[in-house]
Structure 1
Amino acid sequence: MTLHRNLSIAVLALVVAGGTGFTPGPGLSWQLTDTGTTARFRGLAPVSGHVAWAAGSAGTVLRTVDGGRTWASVGPPDAAALQFRDIEAFDSRNAVALTIGNGPDSRVYATSDGGATWTETFRNDDPVAFYDCLTFSDRRHGLALSDPVGGKFRILATRDGGRTWKVSPTEGMPEALPGEFAFAASGTCLVSSGRHAWFATGGDATARVFSSRDGGRTWKVSDSPLPSGPSAGIYSLAFRDPGHGIAVGGDYNTETSAPDGAAVTRDGGRHWTVSKREPGEYRSGVAWWRGRTALAVGPTGSDVSFDGGVTWRRFDSGSFDAVACTDDGSCWASGRDGRIARLRK
């Protein structure tokens, strides 16, 4: 249960069904940017084609305001020993970032001046709690997710843009399975859309999706068809509206094989159907792009779906952990060795 916590432009490509090579793909590729660091970025928060934030290992937070041509290191000076796994940004100046770990290593930082200064707005004081990811439905309302405490997942909530946080009551949270937890892999184990929120799990016999329609006060849970186990389950969720969602995952110990590793829902997460043609390998991040088009990324490559996640096609062989797209149609990906890229189309 602790393993998941301590978790060149690539050639345009498409996996040949049943083969091992690549053939020309659907006109997409990632363009790497020069970040000047070797940190691993699992937290990614693009705002537009010009502005993006990334957060990762060794307390590193980067920000660009020129489309990735240059990056500034703007992380909190007291966070060098911590691991950022999620960041949410509202513009070039305002962002909220989450570090992970047991007890006080789980913290939330907020900035309103582009990272020149940060305020620690939450420090976990429960030695059992371990926060994995956070989400904001608007500039004021946000949620953070912890692995189970006392048999139930824990929700942390803010109503003032991340300046203050409060642990939510657990009466409306279903019981967790004995070995169930969430994966702090790409900042997308918890996502939201308006009053709706969802989080995904693994670790036990069944990978599940929890959903809320009241801003995170009460939750319902549904089984998914994705395989689950000690290092397997759903690693990432994406919803383009309250009904249509995609789940991706697999087992990070077997990166090159992930049968039934992607699924879709059309009813807000109550029922899930395995993709007809899936990526086939472990994927840690998924994001909607435009309309029914979605992108998925992982250590072994990137895939695109033009039909809402039902079928996927490989277009890149490079390693990424997280992917996110903005309202202006810009898509970004981030991962190990300082890799941050923009989508070329």
Structure 2
Amino acid sequence: MSATAPPRRPRRETPGPSALPEPDSALIEEARRRARRRRLGYVAIVALAALGVGLFLALHNGGDGPARHGRTPAGAGPKPAPQAGRQQDETVFAATPKIVGEAGLAAPGVGWAINGLGLYWTRDDGLHWRLITPPDVMEIGDAVARIGEIVYLAPGHIWLVASDVRGASSVGGSTRHVALELTSDGGRTWQSVILPGCYACGETHLSALGPRRGYALAAAEHVSRLYATVDGGTTWKQVAFVPVDGPLAFSSGRRGWALGADGQALYGTHDGGRDWQRIELPTPQRYVGERATFGAPRTFSGGLVVVPVRFRDGHTRAQHVVVYVTRDGGATWAARLAPGAANVMGETWAFPKALSFSAPTATDWLLFAGPRLFVTHDAGRTWSVVQPQPAPRRTLDVYDLDFVSPSIGWAIFRTTLVETRDGGRKWRPLASARR
């Protein structure tokens, strides 16, 4: 699949401002849509891939049934053989990519951007960018559609999910698979890892507890698999078959939260992911009877968890946001309603990460709805309205809202990566004010 401009090798930095080669904006919009469709539909093709694996096993291993209760099915794809670190060309640019499909702010001044040509990383607020696309992704192309979740663990340490890349082994007649790409040197070299018995798995989500400990949740036939690592991702051990499909967030080695039923349910675990319980959240009276899509859980210290939820009116299609908060590890939940004027109608339904919501702290939340930014500094008890300058025309014009403090944040306005340093009042193309 390709929805980008013909491949061109990025130019190396030359004296004076340099520009990055850019795909056409209409193509990157299509790539973004296709990336979302790919991630939404990836689970649907897992059954077909798993069928191929089953036939392969039946022919070669006597057709033993799959193991359960956390055991890895015997012979279900090649064992994880991490590839040696593969060197990435050192390519530095003195300009922010003009066309951006996805982006994220990891820490003040530190973040990433993706378009069809690659994955870019900055450590100086966008003054300079390095091309750090993993070789597996660069080889097949269309980075914005291949790269899934990106997790920043510590300076230089990054994990990401690469979908539909080619491997050296063939299972069920295909070499395509999902891999975890790991780097500890800021993307100069990458290590590719396949989760045990998961060559034919689908969409994968990550949650890290530090540079060495973390979890991976992979969609498989009928039921997802949860894995854990304690060595920085080099090796993974399957924890259990689980009823959730992600995203997920662990706050400790025992307590975690994840979505299930394609974003229609919230689950919690208190034993490191072996057992999960569905959590029934109280529906506010005004939204009783409406369908809900849960957003990705956010965890904070002291057992505090924040979960944004969209409720959709079946007649008007209006979508309104309620943010649920627990301060006792999930024993009780409070519903904090965003203002009724914060209608996010048009956001992709049943897609948890579609909502332009950010929670840089346990009490500071920001929500884009059309041309207005709704802000709270007291965990949703009161809200204020910010009129951004310039203002996006529609909710759908804003992607990847990401704040690391109440004042500093990034977002994508259509295809332009922008930043604010005053809580969302003024937005400008990244790094433009410091040139």
Please report the TM-score for the alignment, with normalisation by the length of structure 2: 0.57
CA deviations 1:99-145 (Å, max 9, x no partner) are 34699442210112221221112268647632242110122111122
2:207 maps to what in 1?
Answer: 135
Aligned residue in 2 for 1:280: 343
Question: Tell me, what secondary structure is at the counterpart of 2:338?
Answer: coil
Aligned equivalent of 2:320, options 251, 259, 271:
259
Residues 149, 168 of structure 1: CA spacing in aligned structure 2 closer, same or farther, 3 A cutoff?
A: farther
Equivalent position SS for 2:295: strand
Please name the residue that 1:219 is paired with: 276
Tell me how far 1:64 sits from its aligned partner: 0.7
Displacement after TM superposition at 1:166 (Å): 3.0
1:234 lines up with 2:281 in the alignment:
no
Which one-letter code corresponds to 2:279 in the other structure?
A: S
CA offset digits 1:143-199 (Å, max 9, x no partner): 12234643x3321222111222233222xx4x46xxxx54xxxxxx22222232211
- Cα distance change on mapping 1:116 and 1:288 into 2, 3 Å: same
Secondary structure of the corresponding residue to residue 5 of structure 1: helix
Inter-partner Cα distance in structure 1 for 2:210 and 2:248? 15
CA shift, 1:256, in A, is 8.1
- Inter-partner Cα distance in structure 2 for 1:298 and 1:203: 23
- Give the drift of 1:203: 3.7
Map Cα deviations across residues 287-307 of structure 1 (whole Å, 9 max, x no partner): 432452123457876432212
Equivalent residue letter for 1:337? T
Q: How far apart, CA to CA, are the structure 2 residues paired with 1:312 and 1:149?
A: 43
Task: State the shift of 1:61 in Å.
Answer: 1.9
Is 1:121 aligned to 2:168, yes or no?
Answer: no
Q: Rate the CA distance shift 1:137–1:330 in 2: closer, same or farther, 3 A.
A: farther
Structure 1 pair 5–265 and aligned structure 2 pair: CA distance change class (3 A) = same
- Larger % of helix: which? 2
Q: How many residues align?
A: 299
Residues 144 and 260 of structure 1: CA distance in aligned 2, closer, same or farther (over 3 Å)? same
SS in 1 for 2:240: coil
User: Which of 52, 74, 84 in structure 1 is aligned with 2:111?
Assistant: 52
With 101-110 and 287-296 compared, the bigger mean Cα shift is at 101-110
2-structure distance, mates of 1:310, 1:284: 20
Show the 5 A alignment for 1:136-175.
136-147=208-219, 149-150=221-222, 152-170=223-241, 173=242, 175=243
Whole-Å separation in 1 of the counterparts to 2:270 and 2:259? 15
Q: Tell me whether 324-333 or 82-91 shows the greater mean CA deviation.
A: 324-333
SS of residue paired to 2:136:
helix
Report the equivalent of 1:95: 158
Aligned residue number for residue 78 of structure 1? 136
Residues 63/260 of structure 1: CA separation in 2 closer, same or farther (3 Å cut): closer
1:322 aligns with 2:379: no
Residue of structure 1 in register with 2:39 after alignment: 5
Percent of pairs with identical residues:
21
Q: 1:329 deviation in Å?
A: 7.5
Larger Rg: 2
Quick one: distance in 2 between partners of 1:96 and 1:148? 21
Output one character per residue of 1:222-254: Cα deviation in whole Å (capped at 9) or x when no partner.
134578xxx9611322122353222224389x9
Provide the TM-score with structure 1 as the length reference. Answer: 0.69
SS at structure 2 position matched to 1:308: coil
Amino acid aligned to 2:268: S
Q: Which has the higher contact order (CA 8 A, sep 6+)?
A: 1
What SS does the aligned partner of 2:319 have?
coil
Structure 2 segments unaligned to the other structure (5+ residues): 1-35, 42-93, 166-173, 348-353, 424-435
Q: Are 1:108 and 2:180 an aligned pair? A: yes
Q: Work out the CA distance in 1 between the residues paired with 2:280 and 2:321.
A: 14
